[in-house]
Structures are given as structure tokens and as C-alpha cells.
Structure 1
């Protein structure tokens, strides 16, 4: 069963994120208003410095004719059949096939190579929302295709942005609670980003920093990181988040259970 919570965002905002939660009902509630209020109240004089930030695009979704023709009854029947529950305003209709998403050929080629037949439930509903640049919390079972639900829109997002300049940090940041999950996500990012020559790196604790630092200094569009090592790299000025316009919290509930809330809030701010 998949559940979605979508919130509209200001199309010019540098604070919008793509948040994907874990398999529990707690999901990605690190984006809750109470957490933001508590954090902002603790630092009332803190201001965002948006000067000099690179402009970006985030809405790439064009509804296909076959999806547009779906009636509300059709949509409801499809969601019930796929066990999809949605909450939020103006939630787009789900897609039934990969062709409905409007992915570029280089993405469709990778999907075909992987042998996928149809989108999973979280992909069918999550892709239109992510491609529209909407704030999103997605809750789905393990093995439901959650990683590709955010990685494929991330690849489209990266390819639409200005190229990295020397000293730029990543465009996409994926936070994961453990080294094992971070490595799994990187493998998927490498596989599906290869045709676009999108560079990525995985940074986590428990190993020497040297290779990770070198990757960051060379410039990578996608960083998959555990919270503690990310904060370490930021504090050491080995990277920055000024170019991040697509943020994913994978298994956010687990990160909170592990006590990573302060690090997550710092990364989001």
C-alpha cells in the first residue's frame, strides 16, 4: 500500500524539497510544521542568504492525453486497485505506463534496459508529483521501487539545470540513515544516470574521508549521504548546499528514530 501527502510550493522558492519517507506511517514527517517552528524559534535572527544563487527550473511534467482523459471515477478505481491513498491539494492523476510520464528518451532507454513492465504504485503516483516540483511525502513498503520514484525525476531535474561551476556543491541531495542504504541508492543513481553522464558520490562515516573529499572537490550533481558525515563535510568546507534544489529524505522516520533530527534540520536549512 502506498500513501502520499503533497503540498504546493512556491515555484521560485529555494526551500522546496522532494521528501520521501520510509515504510512506517511516520514517514517523512521531519517536514512537519512543528519541527520547522521549533527550529526557527530557536534562531529568530537567522536569515536565508539567497543572493547569488543560481536560478533553477523544477516543473517538468506535461500530462499525457491518455492521463488527461481519465475521469475522476477512472482515477479512483485505479488508485483503489493499486492501493494508493493520497492527501493534499491538487494532487495530479497517476500514470499507468512509462510512456505517460513524458520522460526523455535517455530515461526511457534505461527503464527498458532494466526490464520494467509498468510503474509500481509509488512510481505511478509519485512521478507526476515529483516532476511537477511538488513537496511530497511518500510511504511505501520495502521493495516497492521507492528509490526510482525519486531518482528518475532527480535525473530529469539535474539535466535541466545550469552545469556545475567550480566550487559548486550538488544539485540533488539524498539523505539516508545508514551506509548500506546509501550505497544501494548510489548504485541505482549510477545505473540510471550513466546515459546522462551525471556524476554522483556516496559519503558516509566509518571509512577514510580522502576519496569522498576528492569526489566532492571534482564536482558531483548527486550526493547520497548519511547525516553525520554530511555535516562533517559541510563543517570542513569540502562541499556546500547552495546549489541543492532537490532534496530527498529516504527513510526519514528511521533517521529520526536514530536521533538524527538536529542534523536533518541543519541540512534542510
Structure 2
């Protein structure tokens, strides 16, 4: 049996554990990409990524889960421009999707909406309104927003949807989602949100940072977790000690990337990203 075969009696993917996988179920994920990690990474080899020969046999993954709602589709260019102006949203890039006006427009699965309702949110913040369609489409995205703007959920809720669409972790697999953060304090805050909003999906996470004993962190990694939130130095330590690997990471977040660069983490960031 190959490393990524599901074990007898186990669900093949996270969506098999729930009756409501969201976004239409099955493989009708709004034209979702069926490319494998190895195919995607080989295309970026010129930028320093590993060679395709190093990445053969990686688990295929889906990354496009967004289906534009009729309400959003009906918005004219002028209405989109007025909405962005009113909410102080500025966008750059190609084929930028329209912002969503409400949680219903995003099409989040019921298990995600349950957590949103519990938290008492009434409408998306500006970065969520524009960021969710991009993240759910599997697009690369740079988001700039003030503290308290809801940026953590802008990437965490799509991350949860992403995890639930992937083949289930096999023994020895590393995480599916990796969030890098500059400090222990921020990493712990992110983990608290990941725990709260991933609860209904039974998604496991762990927080990896220096200054504390490695034992509990190593045990979490060896048991298998879908989401890892980490500071760069301790994560490299874990990778070099072979306590985890990044072969299954298909959703990468650099939280406060500018601050990590200012703190001199660029070499560590490059070392980590080259394994993703």
C-alpha cells in the first residue's frame, strides 16, 4: 500500500466524515483545480522550488471552492466600485473577483457558518469581503489591513474549507495548512481562532514556537495535525529534526509578513517556503 492510500475503513477525505461538505459536495467545486502539488511546484522551479523529481507521488489537491452568488454576480461594475469606495477597499491585480456583501454570498458550508453565528458576526469586514472570494478561488493574495480588521478569519475560514476538501492525513504526513507568524504571542492568538472555528470540523491544530520545551509540540506533530501555526526558527528546528514535513502543505499563510522581514526572518522564510 502506498503512503497516501487510505487505511481500510477510514474515510478517504475529510468531507466523507460529514454529510455537509459544503460548496456542492463531490468534485463540483466551481471548476476546482485538479492539479497535483508536484505539477504546481514543478512550474515554479525557476523560482527556487524543489525539482519535480523530489516531489513525485504527492497527494493531489483541490484549491478552487468559490461559486459566485447570484447577488454578487448581478452587481454592476459601478456598484462594485461604489461598494469598495464606501468600505475603503483598494484592489490591484488581474481578474479580481467582486467583493461579497454578506456571509450568505460566500457560500460557506453550514459547519463554518455555525461558528460564525456563535461568534456574533453580522457582516464581513472589508478584508473578509474582498479576501474570501480570492482565497476560496485558490488565488495568491496579499492583504493589508489594520489590527482588529478580521484578517485572521479572512484566511482561516477558507483554510478550514480547504482542509475539508483534501484527502485525509496518513501516518507520517505533515500539515495541510501552514501559518507562519513572527512572534509566539501572535501564533497563540491565531491558534485560539483556529481551535474555535475548526471545532465543528474536528480539524486538529498545534502551535510551534521557541522558548518552551519541544516535547508536547513534537507529540502533536507526530499524532498528525491539519493546521500548524509556527514561528520560523522553531519550525525549521522541527523540520531538521524530522519531526514533521511540509509535503502536504497546500495552503500557506505569512501573517504579518512585513514584520517577519523587519525582524530578519527572510532566510528562514525562504528555507521554509522552498519546501512548500
Q: Given the alignment, which residue of 37, 59, 83 partners 1:14?
A: 37
Structure 2 matches for 1:201-212, cutoff 5 A?
201-212=206-217
Report 1 or 2 for greater relative contact order, CA contacts < 8 Å, sequence distance ≥ 6.
1
Counterpart check, 1:245 vs 2:268:
no
Q: Which runs of 5+ in 1 are unaligned?
A: 1-9, 18-32
Q: Which residue of 1 aligns with 2:104?
A: 99
1:165 equivalent in alignment to 2:170: yes
Residues 1-40 of structure 1 correspond to what in structure 2 (within 5 A)? 12=35, 14=37, 40=48
| In structure 2, C-alpha distance between the alignment counterparts of 1:141 and 1:125, rounded to whole Å | 15
Q: Which residue of structure 1 aligns with residue 122 of structure 2? A: 117
**Alignment partner of 1:84 is 2:107:** no
Aligned twin of 1:140: 145
CA distance in 2, matches of 1:171, 1:88: 26
Give the superposition deviation at 1:13.
6.4
Q: What is the TM-score of this pair, normalised by structure 2? A: 0.83
Name the SS for the 1:139 alignment partner: coil
Return the TM-score normalized by structure 1.
0.85
Secondary structure, counterpart of 2:252 in structure 1: strand
Which residue does the alignment assign to 2:204? 199
Cα shift at 1:50: 2.1
**2:58 pairs with 53, 57, 73, which one?**
53
CA distance in 2, matches of 1:216, 1:165: 12
Q: How many residues align?
A: 238
1:155 matched to 2:168: no
* 4+ residue segments displaced more than 6 Å: none
Cα shift at 1:47: 2.2
Q: Is this contact kept in 1: 2:34–2:61, CA < 8 A?
A: no
Give the distance between the partners of 1:53 and 1:102, measured in 2 at CA. 29
What's the Cα RMSD here?
A: 1.9
Give the Cα separation in 1 of the matches to 2:235 and 2:141: 23
Mapped to 1, the partners of 2:105 and 2:55 lie a distance apart of: 36
- What residue is the counterpart of 1:75 in the other structure? 80
Q: Which residue of 2 aligns with 1:256?
A: 261
Is residue 68 of structure 2 the alignment partner of residue 63 of structure 1? yes
Q: Is the 8 A contact 2:37 2:59 kept in 1?
A: no
Residue of structure 2 aligned with 1:227, choices 232, 255, 269: 232
CA distance in 2, matches of 1:176, 1:62: 30
Partner of 1:223, secondary structure, is strand
Structure number with the higher strand fraction is: 1
Rounded Cα–Cα distance in structure 2 between residues aligned with 1:11 and 1:87: 27
Shift of residue 267, structure 1, vs aligned partner: 1.0
CA distance in 2, matches of 1:185, 1:11: 29
